[in-house]
Amino acid sequence: MNIFKRLIGESRTDQARPVYPGKTNAEIREIMSGELKKKTIPVIAVSALLIAVTLFSGEKTDPYKVNRNDVNGEAKTIDLRLETDEEIRNEKLTVGAFEMTDEEIDLMQGEIEKYFDEELFGSKNEIGESVDLPEDIPGYPVLITWNTDDPGVLTPAGEVFNENLSEAKPVHLTGKVMYGNEFRMYEKTVTILPREYSEKELVFKRGMGEIRSDEKSGRNEREFIIPEAVLGMKVSVEGENRLMKIVLILLLVTGLFTATFLGYFSEVRKKRQKRIAGAEERYKEFVSKLMLYLTAGLSVRGAWKRLTDEFSGGKDLLGDMLTISENELQSGEYEADIYERFGNSMESVMYQRLGSILSQQVTKGVANLTLLLSKEVSEAVAKEREKIKVKSALTGTKLLIPMMGMLVIVFAILLMPAFTSF
């Protein structure tokens, strides 16, 4: 047995039996172990890859060589041990990141400025929409911070606000290129173009201009009345609690989905209980006919065949399990195991006892089989009577609420004249 089957165990196999009807415990364990393998293989592969990377991608352990981090990287702290004949002392050494020479920096700065001029801004140096001002450049060990002389039009992040521009506006842009502890400045004057609006956008822009103008001219009044229409457009106010409404709708939808799923599982659970209860209600009839066939001289196998023909017409649990067990008998499986498995599959104590009795009859014989079956019938009758008593008690409890309501009405009728007389 492999490790997956051991992890599944007997208890999980029993719990999964309704999911795989008609399957033996061995078959259920085989199916579940196969599914478990499929789910764990990617996890095992990723774990092995992480372990391999951890083991084989570390730095060299030569104590006399320390690889510096790249430019703009963090410094490394190395623990050293200084030892003389008389004393041992532990010290810490800070190994800084790699630094470029001035010649290397100037050469790289020229390449970066060429990239900015040709790739980022283009030959016209004109910007009509937001641009991505990079904080680093792939392949170059640099960090860049940007600044502009008019962040209201062009922000250091490259956002462009040109909605209210009536004409092109020059903006001076500076970039500080860091090479570790050294830096170089890049400066550029770019032209921010006014935004081009379509005819539809101009209508909305003029409408908002009218509303803003009215709001500004009426600031000496306590209230500002938003117009219902402007330039032929309808104006409405978005509710302040719109976000709350959206949240409530999402919660409602989530609740509906949850209720749907819970309702479905509850329905499945009720169907399962109903099928088991229906099988228990037919237990007395089933055992009585089994006892009748055995008394008439039929073997257990022959009686089982007769019972299968009689009870397998409907789509109830008893008929389904009889059909499955009969197919197993015809396929040549061991008869005693089939009866035992039938009793366990019914998920009822009564049928489990019956399956055990029949299994013992096949394996070693039971001298008083008819007597045991008769006892089973008697117990089924007693249990049926107990159910009738419980139902009667529940019926009486259900009638108690209407009776209390009627009592309240009677008291109201009797006391009403007394109240009206005052």
Residue percentage of the chain with pLDDT more than 70:
79
pLDDT of residue 397: 65
DSSP of 345-393, one letter per residue?
HTT-HHHHHHHHHHHHHHHT--TTHHHHHHHHHHHHHHHHHHHHHHHHH
Is 272 inside a domain boundary? Answer: no
Domain, as residue range, for 292: 282-384
Token digits of residue 274: 């109903």
Is residue 366 located within the same domain as residue 340? yes
Is residue 187 located within the same domain as residue 207? no
What pLDDT, in 10s, does the model give residues 99-141? 888 898 899 989 888 888 887 777 667 888 888 888 888 888 8
Is residue 52 located within the same domain as residue 108? no
| End residue of a domain, out of 192, 212, 244 | 192
pLDDT higher than 70, residue 2: no
What pLDDT, in 10s, does the model give residues 225-245? 888 888 888 877 665 455 566
Is residue 374 located within the same domain as residue 307? yes
**199, 231 contact by CB (below 8 A):** no
Is 408 inside a domain boundary? Answer: no
Mean pLDDT of 17-44: 71
What pLDDT, in 10s, does the model give residues 366-414? 667 878 888 888 888 888 788 777 777 666 666 667 777 787 787 777 7
Q: What total of structural domains would you count in the chain?
A: 4
Give CA–CA dist 307/283, Å, rounded: 12
pLDDT of residue 177: 92
Mean pLDDT of the chain: 78
What pLDDT, in 10s, does the model give residues 309-367? 888 766 677 888 888 888 888 888 888 888 888 888 888 888 888 888 888 888 877 66
pLDDT of residue 61: 46
pLDDT band at 147 (very low <50, low <70, confident <90, very high): very high
Choice among 122-131, 133-142, 158-167, 189-198 with the minimum mean pLDDT: 122-131
Top mean pLDDT of 39-48, 92-101, 173-182, 263-272 is at 173-182
**144, 178 contact by CB (below 8 A):** yes
Is residue 169 located within the same domain as residue 220? no
Is 30 inside a domain boundary? Answer: yes
Is residue 217 located within the same domain as residue 294? no
| End residue of a domain, out of 161, 192, 223 | 192
**175, 145 contact by CB (below 8 A):** yes
pLDDT of residue 422: 47
Is 395 inside a domain boundary? Answer: no
Give CA–CA dist 33/25, Å, rounded: 12
Better-scored residue on pLDDT, 168 or 86: 168
Is 152 inside a domain boundary? Answer: yes
Is 252 inside a domain boundary? Answer: no
Is residue 185 located within the same domain as residue 154? yes
Token digits of residue 107: 């050469």
